[in-house]
Amino acid sequence: MSPELAGVLQLAALIGALALVYRPLGDYMAAVYSSEKHLRPEKWIYRCIGANPSSQMRWPAYLRGVLAFSLVGVLFLYLLQRVQGSLPLSLGFTAISPDQAFNTAASFVANTNWQSYSGEQSMGHVVQTAGLAVQNFVSAAVGMAVAVALVRGFARSRTGELGNFWADLVRGVVRVLLPLSVIGALVLVACGAIQNFAGIHEVGQLTGGSRQMNGGAVASQEVIKELGTNGGGYFNANSAHPFENPSGFTNLFEIFLILVIPFALTRTFGRLVGNLRQGYAILAAMGVIWLGFTALMMWTEFHHGGAALQEAGGAMEGKEQRFGVGASAIFATSTTLTSTGAVDSFHSSFTGFGGGLALLGMMLGEIAPGGVGSGLYGMLIMAIIAVFIAGLMVGRTPEYLGKKIGSREIKLAACYILITPTLVLGFTAVSMVLATPPDSILNTAGDSVNGSGAHGFSEVLYAFTSGANNNGSAFAGLNANTQWYNTTIGLAMLLGRFLPMVFVLALAGSLAEQKPVPETAGTLRTEKPLFAGLLVGAILIITGLTYFPALALGPMAEGLS
């Protein structure tokens, strides 16, 4: 069997597996977020918080909950890293420097998991399991909570009530993420991922002597890293490391984990708004973009353009033999079209076009299918924009899911889509203009030390695109562990995560207060393929117009040279 055919079959198997769990998982999550009952462990947690999980919150209260919880998360994770030297089980690793600790704390709370540190050389057991892995759970649950709040905004009428943040947060963790993680972690261990609390220990080698290896609770962190679309690896090499991703099967399984919740949430959405076909239209838009990107990525990687790859006869630089080119391409598009950013192969060594696809995937705003929760609310914002564009074409007041899209709604949606481009392009421009930040670039023009070529510019653009969109993957050629990049990427991650949430929740509140508009013959049928097509078009045009100049300076210049 040719590697190309094997790649296509793996893609088909992945789609089959996702289709199999789509309905049960989507319906289960809908039931979780609409249930009136509280489980016993949940009640224990609510008592601890001092919150009444049955009370309803309006959007400002819901937002305050999100922000307070996340602020505490940043501070706690920052402190944990700063006192690492005094913690038990820290393996002798010392405190993380202030700028790197800020960057890492912001990164994990913002569901980005950009890593300017090298896991196996910096983080002990306590910071990894009780700090980083905990944010992998809760930042994902926060994203899902905000998405569910927006969906309630569509589903509810004549009320400003969006549910209870604490209940949504705790349920996401206890009923969705935890059970799936336990199962997934055991699958990974069975295939070879490590799960222990050993220190750094000597392992004998065949030719004699021994080498020092890390132990760690890797499988339990690996599974939530993918499932919660986080992406922060236990080891420097992330999911390319055999202890995180030991075989071709686990590789496919991890891609499945990345995609399963973001796709299934469209079913949850359809359930909660009482029209499953609305969910299918959103799913179709997500699926078309994801599949298109994956096909293009596989094509370019098998084609292995670029002088060095042509010389080698294949695109295997930065890729593992057990995965091969095809599965690595599927992983790359899945991780950059969600907010994951885990890598099983190194994007910086992909073909110029492949690297550009990874970049463009993030620039779409990570909505196809996007991060857990953030993908759904991002796509619904784009749906509002698409409905608005369609409304302009026919000269009608746009409406979506029985709600009028008036000037307040469209202003909030417009603010949402302006935030990340502003952060990405602003920070990239400043970094290129200032004197010292370009020193961090690895791939300068013709690999000479002077000046920075197209690939060097791509490294910086990639870093801020990854940060502001909460992806976390890197064109790791950039040495981002400097005060400048730690600080600015940290800010980009926090602003790129929480400012959009402000507008999403404000929008949810304003939608929930409306009374429903009756459907008429003139209503745009948003459950039809025509609308899904319009939505895909709107996404590609808006992203294209926003980022074309920057893409022309980086990956396109590289691809054409």
Partner 1 sequence: MTSMNSSVRGTARLIGAGLRALLALTVVCGVLYPLAVTGIAQAAFHDQANGSEVRSGGRVVGSEIIGQRFDLDAKDEDGNPLPDPRYFQPRPSAAGTNAVNTQYSIVVSGASNLAADSKVLKQTVIDRRKQVADFNQVSPSRVPVDALTASGSGLDPDISPAYAELQVNRVAKANALPREKVARLVADHTQGRQLGFIGEPRVNVLKLNIALTRLSRH
Q: Which of residues 410-439 bind partner 1 (CB under 8 A)?
A: none
Tell me: does residue 32 bind partner 1 (CB under 8 A). no
Contact 390, 402 (CB under 8 A): no
Tell me: does residue 214 bind partner 1 (CB under 8 A). yes
Cis-peptide, bond into residue 369, ω within 30° of zero:
yes
First and final CA of the chain: distance in angstroms? Answer: 34
Tell me: does residue 247 bind partner 1 (CB under 8 A). yes
Contact 468, 496 (CB under 8 A): yes
Contact 527, 277 (CB under 8 A): yes
User: Stretches 178-186, 286-294, 416-424, 521-529: which one binds partner 1 (CB under 8 A)?
Assistant: 178-186
Q: Are strands 399-400 and 210-213 parallel, antiparallel or unpaired?
A: unpaired
- Of 107, 120, 285, 382, the residue at the interface with partner 1 (CB under 8 A) is 120
Residues from 286 through 305 that contact partner 1 (CB under 8 A) = 304-305
Q: Closest Cα partner for 337 from 306, 313, 310, 371?
A: 371
Tell me: does residue 3 bind partner 1 (CB under 8 A). yes
In the complex with partner 1, the residue whose CB is nearer, 93 or 293, is 93
Question: Using CA atoms, how far apart are residues 386 and 560, in angstroms rounded to an integer?
Answer: 33
Q: What is the DSSP string of 88-116?
A: TT-TT--PPPHHHHHHHHHHHHTT----S
Tell me: does residue 174 bind partner 1 (CB under 8 A). yes
- Of 335, 348, 469, 526, the residue at the interface with partner 1 (CB under 8 A) is 348
435 phi and psi, to 5 degrees?
-75, -50
Report the DSSP beta bridge partners of residue 213: 201
Tell me: does residue 194 bind partner 1 (CB under 8 A). yes
- Of 176, 189, 272, 501, the residue at the interface with partner 1 (CB under 8 A) is 189
- Of 89, 159, 242, 491, the residue at the interface with partner 1 (CB under 8 A) is 242
Residues from 122 through 151 that contact partner 1 (CB under 8 A) = 122, 129-131, 133-134, 137-138
In the complex with partner 1, the residue whose CB is nearer, 240 or 492, is 240
- Of 205, 407, 450, 520, the residue at the interface with partner 1 (CB under 8 A) is 205
Question: Using CA atoms, how far apart are residues 363 and 468, in angstroms rounded to an integer?
Answer: 10
- Residue 212's SS3 state is strand
Contact map string, positions 464 to 493, toward partner 1, x by CB under 8 A: -----------xxx----------------
As given in the structure block, the two tokens for residue 151 are: 């969906």
Contact 185, 234 (CB under 8 A): no
In the complex with partner 1, the residue whose CB is nearer, 224 or 417, is 224
Query: What single DSSP character describes residue 517?
Result: P
| CB 58, min distance to partner 1, A | 14
Contact 281, 39 (CB under 8 A): no
Residues from 308 through 327 that contact partner 1 (CB under 8 A) = 308-309, 311-324, 327
Contact 365, 548 (CB under 8 A): no
| CB 192, min distance to partner 1, A | 5
Q: Closest Cα partner for 123 from 78, 92, 99?
A: 92
Contact map string, positions 325 to 344, toward partner 1, x by CB under 8 A: --x---------------xx
Alpha helices, DSSP H, located in 304-373: 307-312, 324-337, 352-363
Instruction: Give 511's contacts (C-beta < 8 A, 6+ positions apart).
Output: 150, 153, 154, 403, 409
Residues from 34 through 63 that contact partner 1 (CB under 8 A) = 41, 44-45, 48-51
- Of 16, 88, 395, 446, the residue at the interface with partner 1 (CB under 8 A) is 446
Tell me: does residue 351 bind partner 1 (CB under 8 A). yes
For partner 1, how many residues bind (rule: CB under 8 A)?
Answer: 129
- Of 240, 257, 282, 401, the residue at the interface with partner 1 (CB under 8 A) is 240
| CB 451, min distance to partner 1, A | 14
| CB 315, min distance to partner 1, A | 7
User: Stretches 169-177, 263-271, 276-284, 530-538: which one binds partner 1 (CB under 8 A)?
Assistant: 169-177
- Of 89, 95, 213, 276, the residue at the interface with partner 1 (CB under 8 A) is 213
Tell me: does residue 65 bind partner 1 (CB under 8 A). yes
Tell me: does residue 251 bind partner 1 (CB under 8 A). yes
C-alpha count within 13 angstroms, C-beta hemisphere, residue 376: 30
Q: Distance of CA 190 to CAs 17, 183, 211, 215, Å?
A: 20, 11, 24, 16
- Of 30, 57, 101, 193, the residue at the interface with partner 1 (CB under 8 A) is 193
| CB 159, min distance to partner 1, A | 23
